Structure 1
Amino acid sequence: MSTDDRRVFGRRLPGGTEFEHPLVGLERRRTAVVAAYLAVLVGLFGVSYAGTTITIGDTPLETVTPRFDAVSTVLIALATATITVVPFCYAAWNGGPAVSFGLPLVPVFLGDIAAGRYVLGVDAAIALTVGAAASALALLATDVRQTGSLRPWRGARGDAAGSQQLFVTMILAVAAVGVARFAGTVPPRSLEWYLPFAVCWLVSVGVVGAYWQATLRAAVASRVASERAES
């Protein structure tokens, strides 16, 4: 890899190995860009949170200057995009099932910090659903780039690809359990907010199902060929 690939915004990337894992992303420079994006998001959250907790003469800091309103507005916009859109963009752009799944959970985690407690609410359910779908899309995008086929599950895949497939399957299982718990405990009004995002499960189940179907077919074909060779 060239020296230029080790630089982002004019800065040299540290080491680089942590940015190159298949579960993280295909290109370290793109992974570093998303890491910088998350750093900005966390920074804005810190500023906004400080504005609500720090007081000057019993007056919250955010009421002293209107700039905190602008920070909060930008933070809300970025958080919404990070939960709903950014994971899919990153998955298609740089692969990385783990990062694609984790991205929408970051704003939810920050919100829990601000609230001082964990709640499996509609935002968490949406984040889990989007994260699972983005993770499946990242698996597909990675294999499409590496194989040059729009149906990469039909070709030969190495052990590393199989590990990624298993990882994404586990993510889907965890997300499904979380969403099931959410659906069983919340009022109908919250379910109405979640339902438009339920279509994302078609992506998750469709992609992972295609991979496992091909895996089972390959296993059966290999066993049949082995039995024929022995007979």
Structure 2
Amino acid sequence: MSSDTDDRQSIGVQAAVGAILEHPLLGLERQRTALTVASLLGLIATLLASHLGTRVPIADALRSTVTTGLDALSMVFIALVTPTILLVPFCYAAWNGGPGLSFVLPLVPVGIGDAVAGAYVFDLDIAIALTIGAAAAAVALVSADVRRAGSLRFWRTGTVDENQLLFVTGCAITAAVGVGRFVDTAPGYMLEWYAPVGSVWLVTGAVVGCYWLAVIRSAWHTSDDHATVDP
């Protein structure tokens, strides 16, 4: 009896996880979404392991070996976190859509790193992560619509997902507000470091602006068609 209950619970958990992984905000293909989530969790585990290892007391005889291992683990994390912030979100957005996961990808390692370090200031890393996340979410929106329509002219097929458009717009606004606060208070040298990444806002603005322009035009044409049909 207990075994049957455990089996049902296991099946229920698997079904729930599967439903989450198939959510369109996370990605179009479940396996690709699962692979990306697993990679992100592995990155977080690497960070936590390298941090917790420095807090565990060890004997002097083992200190040299353990310190070397932790330093290597930290170097691995640093080597992985930079592309995760700057490149992976765009690659995933083009590969599997999913504006939600694309937006979160650069934010997670930065947020976890700041939390572990006890830093709760809106700094350059968070501004960069928000900027990249918003642009990646916009790219994911386009990628998903192109794949659903099977054409680069997806707006002519009526396959635009308005719910995802609203989500991406909200991400862009949230990121813009946060980055705006950073720009207002950051010293000049940080603004110089941020400037190259700041150009990515052109992508976000262009995508979101074109989408809303298409929505307005569609609503306008629909209104005109109704006015023509009505006596």
Does TM-score exceed 0.5, indicating one fold?
Answer: yes
Greater helix share, 1 or 2? Answer: 2
* Aligned counterparts of 2:144 and 2:97: Cα–Cα separation in 1: 5
Letter in 1 for 2:27: G
* Aligned counterparts of 2:28 and 2:151: Cα–Cα separation in 1: 17
Alignment RMSD: 2.0
1:165-215 superposed Cα distances (whole Å, 9 cap, x missing partner): 111011100000000000001101111111111121111111111111111
Superposed displacement of residue 55, structure 1: 2.7
Q: What corresponds to 1:6 in structure 2? A: none
Q: What corresponds to 1:173 in structure 2? A: 173
The total of aligned residue pairs comes to: 217
Structural mapping, 1:25-40, within 5 Å:
25-40=27-42
- Determine if the alignment matches structure 1 residue 17 to structure 2 residue 22: no
Gaps of 5+ in 2: 1-12
- Determine if the alignment matches structure 1 residue 223 to structure 2 residue 223: yes
Q: Which 10-residue stretch deviates more, 216-225 or 57-66?
A: 57-66
Q: Percent of aligned positions with the same letter in both sequences?
A: 51
Equivalent pair of 1:53/1:61 in contact (CA under 8 Å):
no
Structural mapping, 1:67-146, within 5 Å:
67-146=69-148
Letter in 2 for 1:201: W
Equivalent pair of 1:91/1:137 in contact (CA under 8 Å):
yes
Q: Which 10-residue stretch deviates more, 145-154 or 186-195?
A: 145-154
Cα 1:59–1:215 shift into 2, 3 Å: farther
* Aligned counterparts of 2:227 and 2:108: Cα–Cα separation in 1: 50
* Aligned counterparts of 2:62 and 2:103: Cα–Cα separation in 1: 35
SS of 1:117's equivalent in the other structure is: coil
* Aligned counterparts of 1:55 and 1:189: Cα–Cα separation in 2: 39
Letter in 2 for 1:19: L
* Aligned counterparts of 1:179 and 1:162: Cα–Cα separation in 2: 25
Letter in 1 for 2:143: A
* Aligned counterparts of 2:65 and 2:56: Cα–Cα separation in 1: 11
Superposed displacement of residue 73, structure 1: 0.5
Q: Based on CA coordinates, which of the two structures has the bigger radius of gyration? A: 2
Q: What corresponds to 1:154 in structure 2? A: 156
1:1-32 superposed Cα distances (whole Å, 9 cap, x missing partner): xxxxxxxxxxxx93211111110101110011
- The TM-score with structure 1 as length reference comes to 0.88
* Aligned counterparts of 1:152 and 1:29: Cα–Cα separation in 2: 25
Letter in 2 for 1:29: Q
- The TM-score with structure 2 as length reference comes to 0.88
Equivalent pair of 2:149/2:159 in contact (CA under 8 Å):
no
Q: What corresponds to 1:191 in structure 2? A: 191
Q: Which 10-residue stretch deviates more, 167-176 or 104-113?
A: 104-113
Gaps of 5+ in 1: 1-12
SS of 1:25's equivalent in the other structure is: coil
1:73-98 superposed Cα distances (whole Å, 9 cap, x missing partner): 11011111111011011101111000
Superposed displacement of residue 125, structure 1: 0.4
* Aligned counterparts of 2:210 and 2:64: Cα–Cα separation in 1: 51
Letter in 2 for 1:120: F
* Aligned counterparts of 2:114 and 2:52: Cα–Cα separation in 1: 15
Superposed displacement of residue 155, structure 1: 2.9
